[in-house]
Structure 1
Amino acid sequence: MMSSALQGKVALVTGASSGIGEATARALAAEGAAVAIAARRVDRLRALADELTAAGAKVHVLELDVTDQAAVAEAVRSTVAALGGLDVLVNNAGLMLLGPIEDADTTDWTRMVDTNLLGLMYMTREALPHLLRGKGTVVQMSSMAGRVVTRFAGVYQATKFAVNAFSETLRQEVTERGVRVVVIEPGTTDTELRGHITHAPTKAAYEERISRLRKLESTDIAEAVRYAVTAPPHVTVNEIFIRPTDQA
């Protein structure tokens, strides 16, 4: 049964074809929001759209690569045209390509900067006029890696530290105009993210390390997003740092 906390609101979620993005789209739809779901894997989006529509939600599917600035602008325009506005932006699309800095494959670096940072910036910029108009909320999916530095994650961490800095600057610029900026910083979460790692020794070491943890689930992070965006309008949950209990 759907709640009504977000009834009449429109949310756009990037990286919605799996993991945290998919779970977040479900959570926001369950609160009554119309949802635009964006990702590159449109077949998965269509399956999710069928599920949400059957549950009574209004859904708009967007095939989107957030690194393409023109495509980002069109995705926002299309969402507003199809669903009537934009009240909540969840910038969830991201990559985690771990490995040593020494002799790194720098295409991993550019992919992470383009997606984790520039893609998030492009989405925020394009959505902002609508969020300002409706006193909306932007949710930035950062990471524990935006606070805690470890070896073999230098550029991933750099993108997440940058997301945090960008988001706090944005908050200072728009908070007095009614727009809420929320940063979510998950620890180790059981998603497809680690499957992207291209440096085999780092991937093996990472998998071995996290195998000893009770990992967070995507639904745990979606619940954090739901909590933040359904807070009363005069309340901004600026930051949620959420880690597995087992993670030191």
Structure 2
Amino acid sequence: MPSARKKPLDQQVIVITGASSGIGLATARMAAERGAKVVLAARNGEALAEIQGDIARSGGEAFHVVTDVSDRSQVEALARAVIDRYGRIDTWVNDAGLSIIGRLEDVEDADHRRLFDVNFWGLVYGSLVALPHLKKSRGTLINLGSVASDVAFPLQGMYSASKHAIKGFTDSLRIELKEEGAPVAVTLIKPAAIDTPFPAHARNYTDREPKLPPPVYRTEEVAEAIVHAAEYPRRDIYVGGGGRIMSAAQAVAPRVFDAVGSGMAGLQMRDDPPRRPEGSLYETGVGGRTRGSHPGYVMRRSLYTRSALHPLTTAAVVAGVGFAAAASLMGGSRHR
């Protein structure tokens, strides 16, 4: 069930980590277009400055704070900068994240730890630092999980583990806030495969260039879900019907899904050699891009997600189509 409606988007101050590319960047642009004051946070200061300028030239309002979310002191500095500038935080989006492509036994311990420092601890720091401010503003915390919060994928074992951990942390935090009576909504977003620079930013231990397993959805579908949740919070939002089906299949028949999942390794690899195997685990990647280079078909919209976000509108459309079809049939029968 959705929580009570929050402030209109054009009255909100929204903080977005991982805002230099992919989902974070698409969300920042969309939120700014709809009137929100947007705070951009990521490691790539050059890209953030360009994005801030682009938003300003388009009539939006944004500023950026260079932040490595794996360092709690930098996340605290980010929050202070937002409060100093705007006096409040209405929505905080924890989007920063990356992956490693490779068998668990082949990946170095230091790389495993670095991934968890960014994906899990970065989200934990963002959540805990944001909470005092969100309690004051009666705001919303939005955490980016994944379909990998529910299922596991070969060659991305530690990424899957980090997303499982994010789900456990987010669910526990939501319960504690409810027990406390805190007026903070907590939403977990679970995207399926999304056409972002995610594969190119991953640390790659294999001898082939990674790609996303189908079905793949466009970045703006996730941004739409995040922006919607900032105003109309929900407990969980799946982006992509394919991901929802995988989650349901794993819950109902886990052994069957394990057998299917074991064949997914090949779907995650191209035939060409890796272009940048070091990825962005330690160094910043190319910023300013929302889309990746997925070689296959990209779904423009997720009808499942749109209907989940707008159930009344969807019901009205379905009813209208049904009424029109019935009227057409009745009209045809009268002329027979």
Q: TM-score, normalised by structure 2?
A: 0.67
Quote the Cα distance in structure 2 between the aligned partners of 1:150 and 1:9: 36
Q: Residues 170-217 of structure 1: CA distance to partner in whole angstroms, max 9, x if unpaired?
A: 11122332100010111111111111333343754x42x63xx35211
Distance change >3 Å, CA 57–CA 154, structure 1 → 2 = same
Q: Does 1:215 align with 2:216?
A: yes
Any conservation in 2 of the 1:38–1:61 contact (CA below 8 Å)? yes
Aligned length: 237
Q: Residue 138 of structure 1 corresponds to which residue in structure 2?
A: 141
Once the two structures are superposed, the pairs formed by residues 161-200 of structure 1 within 5 Å of their partners are 161-175=164-178, 176-200=181-205
For structure 1, the 5+ residue unaligned runs are none
Offset, 1:228: 1.3
Q: Residue 57 of structure 1 corresponds to which residue in structure 2?
A: 60
For structure 2, the 5+ residue unaligned runs are 1-6, 247-336
Q: Residue 240 of structure 1 corresponds to which residue in structure 2?
A: 237
Offset, 1:31: 2.4
Once the two structures are superposed, the pairs formed by residues 8-27 of structure 1 within 5 Å of their partners are 8-27=11-30
Q: Residues 113-140 of structure 1: CA distance to partner in whole angstroms, max 9, x if unpaired?
A: 0000001111111111000011100110
Quote the Cα distance in structure 1 between the aligned partners of 2:37 and 2:208: 37
Further displaced range: 4-13 or 176-185: 4-13
SS in 2 for 1:145: helix
Quote the Cα distance in structure 1 between the aligned partners of 2:67 and 2:182: 29
Q: What residue identity is the alignment partner of 2:237?
A: I
C-alpha RMSD over aligned residues:
2.0
Offset, 1:83: 2.1
Offset, 1:53: 1.4
Offset, 1:74: 0.6
Q: What residue identity is the alignment partner of 2:228?
A: Y
SS in 2 for 1:177: coil
SS in 1 for 2:190: strand
Identity value in percent: 32
Quote the Cα distance in structure 2 between the aligned partners of 1:91 and 1:60: 17
Any conservation in 1 of the 2:192–2:217 contact (CA below 8 Å)? yes
Further displaced range: 138-147 or 54-63: 54-63
Quote the Cα distance in structure 2 between the aligned partners of 1:161 and 1:203: 26
Quote the Cα distance in structure 1 between the aligned partners of 2:54 and 2:153: 39
Offset, 1:245: 4.8
Q: Residue 276 of structure 2 corresponds to which residue in structure 1?
A: none
Q: What residue identity is the alignment partner of 2:222?
A: I
Q: What residue identity is the alignment partner of 1:224?
A: A
Quote the Cα distance in structure 1 between the aligned partners of 2:229 and 2:109: 36
Any conservation in 1 of the 2:107–2:205 contact (CA below 8 Å)? no
Q: Residue 309 of structure 2 corresponds to which residue in structure 1?
A: none
Name the larger-Rg structure: 2
SS in 1 for 2:64: strand
SS in 2 for 1:240: strand
Q: What residue identity is the alignment partner of 2:164?
A: F
SS in 1 for 2:160: helix
Offset, 1:221: 0.4
Q: Does 1:229 align with 2:230?
A: yes
SS in 1 for 2:69: coil
Any conservation in 2 of the 1:7–1:33 contact (CA below 8 Å)? yes
Offset, 1:95: 0.8
SS in 1 for 2:125: helix
Quote the Cα distance in structure 2 between the aligned partners of 1:94 and 1:243: 19
